[in-house]
Chain A
Amino acid sequence: MNNPLFLLYGVLLLGATGYLEYTGKSFDRINQQRVLPKSIRDNPGAYRSTYGGYSRYIGGK
């Protein structure tokens, strides 16, 4: 094996890919809140989403 650095790099890369896939990690933007009152189920309008004021695309072709 005349390229041990590439071997190490490839093994680490495959290991990282396997780890991310196994644990189901995601780079998506998710905000996690721990405690939410059960009343939300009956009154969904009382909930204020973190992304409620998210600037969205309103342009177009």
Chain B
Amino acid sequence: MSTTLVSQSLVKAKSLSCPNCGTPIELRGFAHTLSAVCPSCLSILDASNPELQILQTYQGKERIEPKIPLGSRGTFNGTVYELIGFEQRSVQTPDDYFSWDEYLLFNPYKGFRYISEYCGHWNVIRVQSRVPYPTTARGRRGWVLDARKFAAFDAMQAATSYVIGEFPWQVRLGETAACEDFIAPPYMLSSETTAGETTWSLGEYWEGSKIWQAFRLPGKPPSPQGIFANQVSPYAGKTGAAWRMWLWFNVALFTLMTIFNLTKANKEVFHDEYSYAYFKNHDTSFVTPAFQLDGVNKNVEVRFHADIRNDWIYLSMALINDETGQTFDFAREVSYYVDSDGSEGSRDNRVVIPSVPAGRYYLRIEPEMVTGALSTRYEISVRRDVPIYSYFWIAAALLLIPPIVTWFRSNQFEARRWRESDYRPVDSPVMKIAGGIIESLGDD
């Protein structure tokens, strides 16, 4: 007799009968099997002798169907294992209850492997004969195994809450063990202590799709919920790579800036000084002598400097082509204020006119100051083909976005990981204030 929980065995099995209900039981773990569970009545039987004495009868009503059927065969690192046992373990605290599934795999030559599953997160586990040595990781207790440093993640008292299949130990429902997990993603080092005996095991995080592939299971694995302790961060190594790329882009940007700085003509083609004095109803506009602009469609920079203090001067200007009449109209204010608290504004200002065709040009200038202003001296200079450094600073600032975003996302991922641990990070005061504001808005 078989149930839907058990698929057809592919290993020659030893057949016995359940002393409770008479259901035939096939043992695939050979002499390793010390206890077996009747697939029909779920009684736990002592498999260390042929009489199959009943160790425990199942009192629960719920039957749990393993996500991977018993008897399934899966290939791990080139070795085929058969799934011979399934147990569900649970943790009950005054505030919380959660459980996870453990699958027992067996290969007659390689021994046992385990697979654990919690909310769609899978680990392939090997019991360790080696004992790790203690260290400090992330500022707290940790262990070193295979030159990897494992940081303490959580500790719990886990109870066996459901079993089916066969096991190489005397399994009992309700049996508890003190468990501790230490992580170094994608690995998890776990200790399990019962009656003074500690067993170490090393788990490796596997995507559900890989587990499904290993067992050639139909359909799709359950979607993972949340972030698991030793789940590999999708940002692992990306933050450093992003900063390295940022550095290379900055080198390229600086090189580009140097090349333009060296190749731009940046030639002064006009410079003169003027003075302004207020006369009522007096037309202040005038034109400068003509000057030559060479080069094809290069930019033109017009700079202003005014000897002012706690005052302003407003300059309406036009760069006019003497031959074609083409006009570039613009205006700038120069204002500078100073007192005992400091200064505001500047005595200098500038404007860059893009793509000005070659030719002879002059400036039409119309200065304006406050009514009754005294004579004020100001200078105007014109340069052809100037480099504009602001583009490089803007580009340098924009280049910061990807590494900062990557770093932020990576930190968010790690914060979510550790939020599930016994060492959840403490929110920063800013985050607490922000949380408080959001909460108070919610109350309203």
A29 touches B333 (CB 8 A): no
Chain A 5-31 interface residues, beta-carbon cutoff 8 Å to B: 5-7, 9-10, 13-14, 16-18, 20-26, 28-31
Q: What chain A residues lie within 8 Å of B327 (beta carbons)?
A: 32-34, 36
Is there a chain A Cβ closer than 8 Å to B160's Cβ? no
9-residue interface stretch from B17-25, B35-43, B64-72, B283-291: B283-291
Q: Which residue of B lies closest to A36 (CB)?
A: B325
Q: Which of A2, A7, A35, A56 lies in contact with B237, CB distance below 8 A?
A: A2
Q: Does B364 contact A (CB under 8 A)?
A: yes
**Contact, CB under 8 Å: B392 / A17:** yes
Q: Nearest-CB distance from B365 to chain A (Å)?
A: 8
Determine whether B314 belongs to the interface, using a CB cutoff of 8 Å to chain A. yes
What is the 8 Å Cβ interface bit string for chain B, positions 234-273, against chain A (1 contact, 0 not)?
A: 0001100110010001001100100010000000000000
Shortest C-beta distance, A1 to chain B (Å), equals 8
Query: Could you show 20 A-B contacts with beta carbons less than 8 Å apart?
Result: A3-B406, A6-B406, A10-B402, A17-B392, A20-B388, A22-B260, A23-B354, A24-B297, A25-B299, A31-B330, A32-B327, A44-B283, A44-B286, A45-B285, A49-B316, A49-B366, A54-B314, A54-B331, A56-B312, A57-B333
Chain A residues closer than 8 Å to B337, beta-carbon distance: 60-61
Which residues on A sit within 8 Å (CB–CB) of B386? 24
Determine if B352 and A28 form an interchain contact, defined as CB atoms under 8 angstroms apart.
yes
Q: A13-B395, A47-B364, A61-B310 are in contact. Are A28 and B353 (CB under 8 A)?
A: yes
A16 to chain B, nearest CB (A): 8
A30, B301: Cα distance in complex, Å: 12
Q: Is B370 an interface residue (CB 8 A)?
A: yes
Contact of B354 (CB < 8 Å), options: A3, A26, A35, A56: A26
Cα(A23)–Cα(B354), bound, Å: 8
Residues on the B chain within 8 Å of A54, using CB: 314, 316, 331
- With an 8 Å Cβ cutoff, the count of chain A residues facing the other chain is 45
Distance between Cα atoms of A61 and B337 in the complex (Å): 6
Segment at the interface with A among B88-96, B113-121, B137-145, B338-346? B338-346
Check B299 against A24 for contact (C-beta < 8 Å). yes
Q: Indicate if the CB atoms of B253 and A33 lie closer than 8 Å.
A: no
How many residues from B make CB contacts under 8 Å with A?
Answer: 63
Partner of A3, one of B238, B299, B368: B238
A56-B312, A58-B370 given; A26·B402 CB < 8 A: no
Residues of chain A within 8 A (CB-CB) of B318 are: 36, 47, 49
Q: Which of B321-379 contact A (CB under 8 A)?
A: 322, 325-331, 333, 335, 337-339, 341, 344, 351-355, 362, 364, 366, 368, 370
- Having A21-B391, A25-B354, A26-B351, one finds 12 other A-B pairs with CB under 8 Å, namely A6-B406, A14-B253, A14-B395, A17-B394, A24-B386, A33-B326, A34-B327, A47-B364, A51-B329, A56-B333, A60-B337, A61-B339
Contact A21 B387 (CB under 8 A): yes
Give every chain A residue within 8 A of B398 (Cβ-Cβ). 13
Q: How far is the CB of A50 from the nearest CB of chain B, in Å?
A: 5
Whether B256 and A17, one on each chain, are in contact in the complex, defined by CB atoms closer than 8 angstroms, is: yes
Asked if A14 meets B299 with Cβ closer than 8 Å, knowing A9-B402, A45-B283, A61-B310, the reply is no
Contacts of A32 in B (CB 8 A): 326-329
Q: Which residues of B contact A47 (CB under 8 A)?
A: 285, 318, 364
Q: Which residues on B sit within 8 Å (CB–CB) of A34? A: 325-327
User: Residue on A with the closest CB to B314?
Assistant: A56
Contact between chains at A51 and B331 (CB < 8 Å)? yes
Distance between A10 CB and nearest chain B CB, rounded to angstroms: 4
Assembly CA distance A3 to B238 (angstroms): 8
Pairwise interchain contact B287-A41, C-beta atoms closer than 8 A: yes
